């Protein structure tokens, strides 16, 4: 307990401060590490952009197909209604 109290009450020396600052710098990433990380992120984003583009095309194709089916169904129903109409009361 006394050591902790001594450490709390002891004055900060330039040497202790320098050691603390050096430890802090040792824990920070270097510019090269940051650039490498950014390159990896950009690469992954580029891959995802391509995949999302492909998915958008597929969704657009499905939309067009469904629209054509819907139009054909409506036309078929209109034809059936016109044909069957005179026979109904």
pLDDT value of position 86: 57
Where are the alpha helices (H) located in 1-89, listed in sequence order? Answer: 2-9, 14-27, 31-84
pLDDT value of position 28: 80
Confidence class for position 87, pLDDT limits 50, 70, 90: low
pLDDT value of position 46: 92
Cα angle, residue 36 at apex, residues 31 and 42 outer, rounded to 5°:
125
What is the C-alpha to C-alpha distance for residues 26 and 20, in angstroms, rounded to an integer?
Answer: 10
* Mean pLDDT estimate for the chain: 82
Return the structure tokens found at 41. 């992120």
What is the C-alpha to C-alpha distance for residues 52 and 54, in angstroms, rounded to an integer?
Answer: 5
pTM of the model: 0.44
Return the structure tokens found at 60. 């657009």
């Amino acid at each position: 307990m006394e050591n902790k109290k001594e450490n709390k009450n002891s004055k900060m020396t330039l040497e202790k401060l320098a050691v603390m600052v050096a430890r802090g710098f040792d824990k920070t990433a270097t510019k090269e590490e940051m650039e490498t990380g950014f390159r990896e992120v950009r690469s992954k984003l580029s891959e995802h952009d391509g995949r999302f583009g492909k998915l958008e095309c597929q969704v657009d194709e499905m939309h067009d197909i469904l629209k054509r089916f819907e139009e054909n169904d409506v036309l078929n129903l209109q034809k059936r209604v016109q044909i069957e109409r005179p026979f109904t009361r």
